[in-house]
Structure 1
Amino acid sequence: MIGIHPVHRRLAELALRAKLLGDFKLLSPVEKQELSHCLSVNLELVRKLDSLKSLAFIAYDCGDVSWHQDICAEIEALESKLL
């Protein structure tokens, strides 16, 4: 089973609503605020994962096994919250 983070599910719901309405501009002010919030949360999730994955590559490339394992554990913990 593939899990979907609640933020991503809400983004999909808002996108569907906007599609049915004909444009994102037609969402209610509350829905637009929610969309902005979901996009911000998504941005932070992506930035954090990308940063950790870059660090993991550097740790691997340096041969620092302990550091690499620590970073991979952080990645796994963050990804488990996405399910």
Structure 2
Amino acid sequence: MKVAILPIHERLAELWILRGTRELTDSERMDMEHCLAVNASYCRELANLRNMSLLASMTGDENWQYEICSEIERLGGVPPSTRY
């Protein structure tokens, strides 16, 4: 499974490493809070799209599911696998 690493994730990793070696500055703490908020929003959007993809699959709407999976891929996520 291929998962995208977004710049926000790279920055979170950088701040986490810095946090382990020294106390973060006020600016870095604010940056970390911002990164966490953006990450939560990103995860929520992907989860919503995956839920809609499941609904499209359950209702047999292949065109809608294709559109949703394209949006998931655009966000750098991995579309859910389809079972037949």
- Using the size of structure 2 for normalisation, the TM-score is 0.83
Query: By how many angstroms is 1:60 displaced?
Result: 0.3
Spell out the pairing of 1:1-83 with structure 2 (5 A cutoff). Answer: 4-21=5-22, 26-79=23-76
Task: State the percentage of identical aligned residues.
Answer: 37
Paired residue type of 1:20: T
Query: By how many angstroms is 1:73 displaced?
Result: 0.9
Paired residue type of 1:60: S
Tell me, in whole angstroms, the C-alpha distance in 2 between the residues paired with 1:74 and 1:3: 14
Tell me, in whole angstroms, the C-alpha distance in 2 between the residues paired with 1:30 and 1:17: 13
Paired residue type of 1:5: L
Tell me, in whole angstroms, the C-alpha distance in 2 between the residues paired with 1:5 and 1:35: 15
Paired residue secondary structure (2:75) = helix
Give structure 2 stretches of 5+ with no counterpart. 78-84
Tell me, in whole angstroms, the C-alpha distance in 1 between the residues paired with 2:73 and 2:24: 35
Q: CA RMSD in A?
A: 1.8
- Write out the 4+ residue segments of structure 1 that deviate beyond 6 Å after TM superposition: none
Give structure 1 stretches of 5+ with no counterpart. none
Greater per-residue helix proportion: 1
